[in-house]
Amino acid sequence: MIRILVVEDEHSISNLIKVNLTRAGYDCDCVYDGLTAVDALDQKPYDLVLLDIMLPGADGYEVMDYITPLEIPVIFLTAKASVKDRVKGLRMGADDYLTKPFEIIELLARVETVLRRYHKTEQVLTEGDLVIDTASRTVMKQGEPVSLTKKEFDLLLLFVRNKNIALYRETIYERIWGGEYLGDSRTVDLHVQRMRKKVGWEDRIVTVYKVGYRLKGDTP
């Protein structure tokens, strides 16, 4: 399982990140200051670090200096939004830089992108009665193959990796079709309906009124 270290001193933000990373299938540890982060990195191997800059003990830049020789990818999560701060973080070797406040779905997308860049994504995902092989792009349901189109497979992955999160139609369209959403919900609706019928998840991928859709997980 992919292991992620969250270094964030605001407990409410840290807990929110951990809940959603866990729902997305990641193993997640949280620490709340820079010195404890260094200790955690000494004790366990991590695949990714989400790192705040303004931390007690040692700030994010100091922790980044420690991480660099370890060759662990880093995403800065910070309220420091100036171009100067962004450039400094990226020049120090961070793989991405996300400013607060941010949407959880954007964070999950950036996490996925960085992990994929380092070939650290899980190739086989299990969700309910489905086994999803992301390398071969195949889906098995109770041992039987499920035939999905490219867009349907991408939709399924999007829901599985954002379990329990209400996804706006605009977000779904932009993530799957890669263009600006112009208000034509039928494209999204038709593909979602076909995909969930094929995998037998009519009761799991639910419509969220005036928003879009949500994959129900183990918690409401």
Q: Is the pLDDT of residue 182 over 70?
A: no
Mean per-residue pLDDT for 53-66? 93
Walk me through the domains of the chain, giving residue ranges and CATH numbers.
3-117 (3.40.50.2300), 124-215 (1.10.10.10)
pTM of the predicted protein model:
0.71
Mean per-residue pLDDT for 211-215? 93
Mean pLDDT of the chain: 90
pLDDT at 89: 86
Q: If pLDDT is split at 50, 70 and 90, which confidence band does 220 have?
A: very low
pLDDT at 45: 92
Mean per-residue pLDDT for 27-48? 95
Mean per-residue pLDDT for 14-37? 92
Share of the chain above pLDDT 70, in %: 96
Give the 3-state secondary structure of the chain. CCEEEEECCCHHHHHHHHHHHHHCCCEEEEECCHHHHHHHHHHCCCCEEEECCCCCCCCHHHHHHHHHHHCCCEEEEECCCCHHHHHHHHHCCCCEEEECCCCHHHHHHHHHHHHHHCCCCCCEEEECCEEEECCCCEEEECCEEECCCHHHHHHHHHHHCCCCCCEEHHHHHHHHHCCCCCCCHHHHHHHHHHHHHHHCCCCCEEEECCCEEEECCCCC
